Amino acid sequence: MASSPAFLADSRRFLFFTGKGGVGKTSLACASAVALARVGKSVLLVSTDPASNVAQVFGQVVGHEITPITGVAGLAAIEIDPQAAAAAYREKIIGPVRGLLPDAEIAAITEQLSGSCTTEVASFNEFTDLLADDSLTGAYDHIVFDTAPTGHTIRLLQLPGAWTSFLDAGQGDASCLGPMAGLDKARRTYAAALARLADPALTRLVLVARAQHSALTEAARTAGELSRVGISRQHLVLNALLPDPGPTGDPLAVAIHQREAACLADLPTALNLLPRTLIHMRPAAILGVGALKDLLTETAPRACASPVLPPMPRSLPGMDTLVDELVAADHGLILCMGKGGVGKSTIAAAIAVALAECGKQVHLSTTDPAARLDDVLAGTADAHLEVSRIDPQAATTAYREKVLATKGAALDDAGRARLREDLLSPCTEEVAVFREFSHLVSQARRQFVVIDTAPTGHTLLLLDATGSYHRDIVRNLGATKGVATPLMRLQDPALTKVVLVTLPEATPVQEASDLQDDLARAGITPWGWVVNQSLAATSTTDPLLAARAGAEAPHLDRVRELAARLAVVPLLASPPTGVTGLHSVIPQPV
């Protein structure tokens, strides 16, 4: 395997690919599995990606059973459906008590088991046997996993103790403790699986990212988190890099290449220490065994790109269409939501600035821990625009200390350790910042409030289902009968407009669709969608970029099916910072 990338050299038995949605984990996992099989190894490819397209990549049905891959001797694959796994996991826990507990309690338990942590634990539950049971996988030389558990999930599964009794005693809290119910029975299997995950002689983790500031920051955070739980054998892959277009190339292509080069020259310390592989952008989606074979070659594909530009998708509405509708009112709450790295801060800032320039009084706030909003605004000043920031770290620290001092006071050392780990979950942060978020929600009755990131539907329902926070809000407001709580205001379409932000790629669109379903459970319907960083919305003449633009068509069509309103923002040559940059996000009237 001399010509293979470094992460396949001296390959370990277990190979995990991880990274945020849309960075190319599935393509790289499939290509690696094919590469290993081509040198005579027997390989099992396992996908737990919620937007898994392994079947599409290979052009055949895969599904929930181990299936041989046609045309690749020695390769088989299985797709674990995370949602189905989570549903089965919930039923296993709730089924025995259904009919014994009141419906309200069943609803509360169900919601507690409906978060992303439950889905991840349930998926891990599904492939634990593939990791730990040699009677199932002993026939394979290598097992390649498309997506890996996060450091938080691994830490939870490493903890000793009986989680079920911990919950039954009412000692948990409204965050991610739900997934731990019933895990004690599987502790030995988990221990064996986790030991293999952390064994550098058996396991290598491939961290996949794009050469973009936000993606690299998140990748560095993941690398550090996994190192802390003992997964130290890591390899960085920077995927979909644009080859040098030359000084006379298309301006957009030149700008993208320069931005990526700057990112590579200034990698976060946690990533700079890792061995790395660079993979160049391909002109088309990676489909079929032939494309998978080529993906891991070192040759830049620019010469292979077709000079014939594909037809652009039909007319794409811009952000100005959304702002024109928003500005017709004089107040309201606008929530920009979506996964990390899709550009929520930019979209929120652009909306806020546009409304302020129309003479509306606007309060723009963020819960972004990286304070990205400061960079986007770049000193923008407007008498109609107030800017604030909710500090998630400070809010979460205070919340953890309060819970440990109250619910944790009566626990033994093991119980406090479980509670501390539960309070490190992503859901805890959402719960903690909700107090400050609630204050902003009340302001939206008098002015525009634009918020970059907001509580998910799961968090809102969890808070409402337990009743404790809902009652606290009512009591703190000195409310009487008929008061509107924050959840009620978020459910009011006349007041609240939820804007889902995504990218024109399969996984980000699927993640946004899942978020829309999550909000629907809380009685909240997104007002509109924004597809950010679209090549299809540019006028690029670069053959490689134009080919990629054409590949966005099915994802844009999918968003049209899901969205009540749609706006598409082009991939910009210059970062959208300051007034001028934000004007490029929302076209100004001529």
Residue 306 has pLDDT above 50, yes or no: no
Query: What is residue 332's predicted lDDT score, i.e. its pLDDT?
Result: 96
Paired sense of beta strands 67-68 and 75-79, if any: antiparallel
Query: Of the ranges 154-168, 245-259, 319-333, 431-445, which is most confident?
Result: 319-333
When pLDDT is cut at 50, 70 and 90, the band that residue 319 belongs to is very high
* Of the listed ranges 191-195, 336-340, 449-453, the one predicted with least confidence: 191-195
Annotated active-site residue in 11, 18, 20, 22: 22
Residue 339 among the catalytic residues: no
For the segment 172-188, the average pLDDT, to the nearest whole number, is 52
What is the per-residue pLDDT across 426-472, written as a single tens digit (0 to 9) for each?
A: 667 777 777 778 878 889 999 999 998 776 766 676 555 444 444 45
Residues 548 and 283: beta-carbon distance below 8 Å: yes
Q: Is 49 marked active-site?
A: yes
Give me 525's structure tokens: 């319907």
What is the pLDDT, as a whole number, of residue 510?
A: 86
pLDDT at 141 over 70: yes
- Distance, in Å, from the CA atom of 113 to the CA atom of 176, rounded to the nearest integer, reads 8
Interaxial angle between packed helices 116-132 and 82-94, expressed in degrees from 0 to 180 and rounded to the nearest 10: 100
User: What was the pLDDT predicted at 246?
Assistant: 84
Work out the pLDDT band at 11, boundaries 50, 70, 90: confident
Secondary structure class of 528 (helix, strand, coil): strand
pLDDT in tens, 49-91: 766 678 888 989 898 888 999 999 999 999 887 778 888 888 8
**What does DSSP assign to residue 368?**
-
Counting Cα atoms < 13 Å in the Cβ hemisphere of 181 gives: 28
Higher pLDDT, 304 or 9: 9
Stretch 134-149: mean pLDDT, rounded? Answer: 84
* pLDDT value at residue 573: 87
Q: What is the mean pLDDT of residues 164-180?
A: 46
Considering 219-233, 236-250, 414-428, the range whose residues carry the highest mean pLDDT is 236-250
**CB contact at 8 A, 33 and 45:** yes
Q: Range with the lowest mean pLDDT among 145-149, 445-449, 507-511?
A: 145-149
Give the rounded percent of residues in the chain with a pLDDT score beyond 90: 34
Q: Would you say the pTM of this structure is higher than 0.85?
A: no
pLDDT for the residue numbered 67: 93
- Greater pLDDT, 249 or 141: 141
For residue 382, give Cα distances in angstroms to 40, 357, 359, 363, 387: 65, 8, 10, 11, 10
pLDDT of 169 higher than 70: no
Task: Specify the pLDDT at position 345.
Answer: 87
Ranking 262-271, 505-514, 563-572 by mean pLDDT, the lowest is: 505-514
| Cα torsion angle, 346, 348, 351, 357, sign | negative
**Chain-centre distance of CA 249, in angstroms?**
33
Q: Among 242, 67, 193, 82, which residue's Cα sits nearest to residue 147?
A: 82
β-pairing, 276-280 vs 234-241, is: parallel
Q: Which two tokens stand for residue 38?
A: 């081509």
Question: What's the mean per-residue pLDDT of the chain?
Answer: 81
Distance (Å, rounded) from C-alpha 531 to C-alpha 534? 7
| 265 pLDDT tier (thresholds 50, 70, 90) | very high
Angle (deg, nearest 10), helices 392-406 and 413-422: 150
Dihedral through CA 177, CA 25, CA 87, CA 158, nearest 10? -30
* pLDDT for 50: 63
Per the DSSP assignment, residues forming a β-bridge with 208 are 237
415 pLDDT band, cuts 50/70/90, is: confident
Both tokens assigned to 261: 């080069």
- Known catalytic residue: 507? yes
- At 368, the pLDDT band (50, 70, 90 cuts) reads low
Q: For position 362, what pLDDT does the model report?
A: 95
Order of strands across the sheet that contains 385-389? 385-389, 362-366, 448-452, 332-337, 496-502, 528-534, 566-570
Rounded mean pLDDT of 361-375?
A: 75
More confidently predicted of 149 and 315: 315
Predicted pLDDT at 577: 79
Tokens 């309103």 belong to residue: 565
pLDDT band at 378 (very low <50, low <70, confident <90, very high): low
So what's the pLDDT on residue 372? 64
Catalytic site residue 26?
Answer: yes
Q: How confident is the model at residue 168 (pLDDT cuts 50, 70, 90)?
A: very low
Which is the catalytic residue, given 26, 110, 119, 150? 26
d(CA 438, CA 477): 11
Which residues face 450 on adjacent strands?
Answer: 334, 364
Identified catalytic residue from 49, 250, 368, 464:
49
> In Å, what is the CA distance from 33 to each residue of 72, 240, 320, 341?
10, 19, 45, 28
Element at 40 (helix H, strand E): none
- The answer, yes or no, to whether residue 1 has pLDDT greater than 60, is no
Q: Please report the pLDDT score of residue 111 as a whole number.
A: 72
User: Which of the residue ranges 360-364, 370-374, 413-417, 554-558 would you say has the lowest mean pLDDT?
Assistant: 370-374
